[in-house]
Amino acid sequence: MSPYTSPSAAPRGLTFGMAAESYERFRPGYPDEVVERTLAFAGRDVKRAVEVGSGTGKATRAFASRNIHVTALEPDPDMFSVLRRETAGMPVVPVHTTFEAYAGPPTDLVFAAASWHWTDPGMRWGHTADLLVAGGVVAVFGSPLRIADPVVEAAATAAGAPTPVEATDPAPDRAGLAESGVFHDVEEHLLEREVVVSQRDYVGHLSTLSTFLDLRPDARHEALRRVASVLPAQVHLDLGVRLLLARRA
């Protein structure tokens, strides 16, 4: 078996459950500006939202803290378990399902945080439109992982760290949005953000990426060890958030 073969051969988008607790521990949340830009774009009271691929609830909590009732969709059973625990007592209804299989009532907002690339490209925009009320808003955002210092980034990449996770960038799907014919007022924003994390936390973040989750445990441990060996004690990260907004016609 190749070291790059997942031992579980999990379906697409369902490899993260094996690292659900680490995902909650090491993945950064989202700045308030993401919620503020989205609600300002909506231009009206947003009471209900559907989240696509909620994970452990990082973005869920950001929107629910504004008293928005969030129906949080998550297909992975282990991630779903953490999601349910971390959103207890909030206006959140976790639903163990895929985005494609969900057929709930129309809502004011559909949003996806670093999960849009796991959805079916052939139906994502049409299904989103079906889930929105007229004039409802879709918000797709992600934060590609980049080391801010180019010298450190080059050393980490040479040691086996992945290049920035561009799959979390919604921009490449603009064409699909335009071709859908059901959305307008499209806006894109780059929300700048830099954070400093410990070497351990950065490696912990890496351990939650599919690049490493798809390795056998022994190969994963060795790959993460190699990356850690070239990192300083504190790692400066560029975690700018790319936000794509559109309105249902």
b/e for 22-33, b at 16 or more Cβ within 10 A? bbbebbbebbee
Prediction pTM value: 0.85
In this prediction, residue 14 carries a pLDDT of 38
Query: 78-131: per-residue pLDDT in tens?
Result: 999 999 999 999 999 999 999 999 999 999 999 999 899 889 988 999 999 999
Q: Which residue's entry shows tokens 């450190």? A: 152
Pairing of strands 69-73, 48-52: parallel
Percent of the chain predicted with pLDDT > 90: 67
Q: Show the beta-strand stretches assigned E in the chain.
A: 48-52, 69-73, 92-95, 107-113, 132-142, 146-147, 183-191, 194-198, 234-238, 241-248
Query: 133-161: per-residue pLDDT in tens?
Result: 999 999 999 888 889 999 999 999 999 88
pLDDT band at 164, cuts 50/70/90? low
Which two tokens mark 143? Answer: 């934060």
